[in-house]
């Protein structure tokens, strides 16, 4: 099975989910969200085509990564290929995040959508909306996007958000210099 990637796998990301992650950038997205931060991934033309087995082999060689993140483009446009890689990533104990412009509810209705949601750990769903953009939101670009615990959502038959990630980042400094120190 072949997957169309936008770029080689990117290791050591701390921006695309919790922990130290390897990002799998898929090519192709029809959402075309205005002001998307990855417009070069929208085209469905072949970019970097690999077999899913080649990607799995790269996952075998990862060092010091807590998980993988599917982003793009929109990975859901290659759902079967992403599912194949995700099932393997679970076998080798990698945590899985997936970003999509589709909603959880839409993915759930797709062929193999429920199986994908049962396999991944976190879904960041919904299109980016520039009018709702915020730089204070962890792991998402606009406030309409949800960070969903997919396992709990499937179990409870309703969307379960990861509350601690749905709030704005703290603006309180991690360290405050004592007033008697001059620097």
Neighbours of 81 (CB within 10 A): 20
pLDDT band of 172, cuts 50, 70, 90: low
Which segments of the chain does DSSP mark as H helices, in order? Answer: 52-60, 79-91, 104-109, 113-119, 150-156, 163-166
Residue with tokens 């790269």: 58
Residue 175: predicted pLDDT: 55
Residue 168: predicted pLDDT: 73
Q: Is residue 181 part of a domain?
A: no
**CATH (domain of 111):** 3.20.20.70
What tokens appear for 55 in the block? 């990607």
Structural domains in the chain (count): 1
pLDDT band of 149, cuts 50, 70, 90: very high
To the nearest 10 degrees (0 to 180), the angle between helices 79-91 and 52-60 is 30
On average, the pLDDT of the chain sits at 93
Q: Is residue 143 part of a domain?
A: yes
What tokens appear for 16 in the block? 């695309």
Residue 95: predicted pLDDT: 97
pLDDT score of 177 more than 80: no
Q: Is residue 183 part of a domain?
A: no
% of the chain exceeding 90 in pLDDT: 86
Residues 9 and 57: beta-carbon distance below 8 Å: no
Produce one character per residue of 101-139: b if its CB has 16 or more CB atoms within 10 Å, e if not.
bbbbeebbeeeebeebbebbbbbbbbbbeeeeeeeebbb
34 is in which domain, residue-wise?
Answer: 2-166
Q: Is residue 137 part of a domain?
A: yes
Produce one character per residue of 64-78: b if its CB has 16 or more CB atoms within 10 Å, e if not.
ebebbbbbbbbbbbb
- pTM equals 0.90
Q: Is residue 173 part of a domain?
A: no
pLDDT score of 6 more than 80: yes
Residue 178: predicted pLDDT: 64
Q: Is residue 45 part of a domain?
A: yes
Give the tens place of pLDDT for each residue, 31-67. 989 998 899 999 999 999 999 999 999 999 999 999 9
Give the tens place of pLDDT for each residue, 60-119. 999 999 999 999 999 999 999 999 999 999 999 999 999 999 999 999 999 999 999 999
């Amino acid at each position: 099975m072949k997957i169309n990637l936008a770029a080689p796998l990117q290791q050591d990301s701390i921006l695309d989910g919790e922990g130290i992650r390897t990002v799998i950038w898929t090519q192709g997205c029809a959402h075309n969200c205005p002001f998307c931060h990855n417009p070069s991934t929208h085209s469905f033309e072949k970019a970097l085509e690999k077999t899913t087995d080649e990607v799995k082999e790269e996952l075998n060689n990862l060092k010091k990564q807590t998980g993988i993140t599917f982003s793009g483009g929109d990975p859901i446009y290659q759902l079967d290929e992403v599912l194949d890689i995700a099932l393997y990533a679970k076998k080798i104990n990698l945590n899985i995040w997936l970003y999509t412009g589709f909603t959880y509810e839409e993915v759930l209705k797709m062929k193999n959508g429920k199986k994908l949601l049962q396999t991944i750990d976190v879904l960041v769903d919904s299109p980016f909306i520039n009018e709702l953009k915020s730089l204070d939101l962890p792991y998402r670009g606009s406030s309409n996007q949800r960070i969903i615990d997919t396992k709990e959502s499937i179990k409870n038959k309703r969307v379960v958000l990861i509350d601690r990630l749905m709030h704005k980042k703290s603006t309180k400094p991690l360290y405050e210099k004592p007033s008697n120190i001059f620097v």
